[in-house]
Amino acid sequence: MRTCAIAVVGLGLMGSAALYALARRGADVLGFDPLNPGAARGSSHGSCRAYRRFNFESDAYTDLSEQAYAGWRALESATGRSVLRTCAVLEAGPAGSKMIKASRAAAGKAGPITGPTTGAEANAAFPAFNLPADWDVVVQDSGGILMAEAALRAFREGAEGLVIPKAARVHARSFWICVRAGDEEVIAEQVIVAAGPWIGQFIPALKPHLTITRQAVGWFKPLRPQTAGFGDLPIFIVEGPRGLVYGFPDFEGRGVKAAQHDLGPVVGPDAWDPPPSDEELDVVSATLRDFVPGASGPIVDREICLYTNTLAADVQNDQGQGDDGKEFIIDRLPQDPRIIVASPCSGHGAKFASAIGEMLADLALDSQLKAPAAFRLDRFSSFAPVDLALA
């Protein structure tokens, strides 16, 4: 029977970042996951995610973005892998858009905003677009394409020999925590659970606070390739009348990756099949056709992404405020502080993984450290001190 001080269950970007951070600090740590990098399942599968330095969702993410940026560059230096490709991010919406207003406010804290501010200016700067002339636009020159699979491989390589490639189950005992993986048992002092859409199977008390949604992703053969390549087309987020659609330039020769960011149908954690239909991608196709025609074209590839979404809090903070949902969960279980929960998802967590990995390592190595208030479990009334059974 093996032992370790810290077990990390779930090795997507978040869990692998935590494993990597702990290994680099010399911690006695093991990681568990049956999926290898490149597997077409899990929250971190696929080649890329968008990195935004400034985030319209919340001011709280700006500092986290800065920490993550430093973490991605440090990972590149340590491993020799390229994991973050600098690419502008353009966000656009109708005049008066709350999204653009929030993004401008976040970006403006770092200094003057440059680049297009209207649809007309964006169309002139980036010929793939056909935005209404009076739309509001903000451009982040300091965004990037996070090479998700490359980053995952870099984290795993930095923790070589510490991964048990098996599905695990967690059983909390009075004096230790048993992690069972196949016919192997590991006794751990603490566990970080970063199991993506499967996290509710490990922490059943989380289930009422989460929904899992099916998100259709497509790759489109650009109508005007000369306008849609890397360096010509920024990452984009378009708030059209049919919904919020994001996309990437054709940086792989695979086509323009695009998807709807609005939440899809609620599903279970294993709902990866079948691939998305044309109907599921209709909003994306129509939005590209109307607003990014240079990137529009036939669908050449498709896949499913699952969002694990956090619901709104039901406990107000010290300022008498709650949250509207989609905030991350990064905290120790109040009922058993030996167990650290990491569900930093809601469709926009990947870009922060390098910083969240360090945050999880800090929590595991310092029992007195508190998680950031915005991410704590005590914002949910169900996490008052009660018995919590682990699967």
Comparison of pLDDT for 344 and 46, the residue scoring more: 46
Do 377 and 296 fall within a single domain?
no
pLDDT digits (tens, 9 = 90+) for 300-319: 999 999 999 999 888 865 54
- Is the alpha carbon torsion for 131, 137, 143, 147 positive or negative? negative
DSSP 166: S
CATH of residue 277's domain is 3.30.9.10
pLDDT digits (tens, 9 = 90+) for 196-233: 999 999 999 999 999 999 999 999 999 999 999 999 99
Say yes or no to pLDDT of 290 above 80.
yes
Do 129 and 156 fall within a single domain?
no
**Are residues 245 and 284 in contact, defined by beta-carbon separation less than 8 angstroms?**
yes
Look at the chain and report how many structural domains it folds into.
2
Q: How many CA atoms lie within 13 A of 104 on its CB side?
A: 17
Do 112 and 228 fall within a single domain?
yes
User: Which pLDDT score is estimated for 289?
Assistant: 98
pLDDT digits (tens, 9 = 90+) for 164-202: 999 999 999 999 999 999 999 999 999 999 999 999 999
User: For residue 66, is it within any domain?
Assistant: no
**Are residues 345 and 311 in contact, defined by beta-carbon separation less than 8 angstroms?**
no
For residue 344, the enclosing domain spans: 2-44+149-202+311-383
User: Which pLDDT score is estimated for 387?
Assistant: 47
Do 260 and 138 fall within a single domain?
yes
DSSP per-residue letters across 306-370: EEEEEPPPSS--TTS----S---EEEEETTEEEEEEEE--TT--GGGHHHHHHHHHHHHH-TTPP
Say yes or no to pLDDT of 111 above 80.
no
CB atoms within 10 A of CB 4: 19
**Are residues 302 and 274 in contact, defined by beta-carbon separation less than 8 angstroms?**
no
Do 179 and 157 fall within a single domain?
yes
Structure tokens at 256: 């323009």
User: For residue 57, is it within any domain?
Assistant: no
Do 252 and 373 fall within a single domain?
no
Confidence (pTM): 0.94
CA nearest 11: which of 139, 192, 173? 192
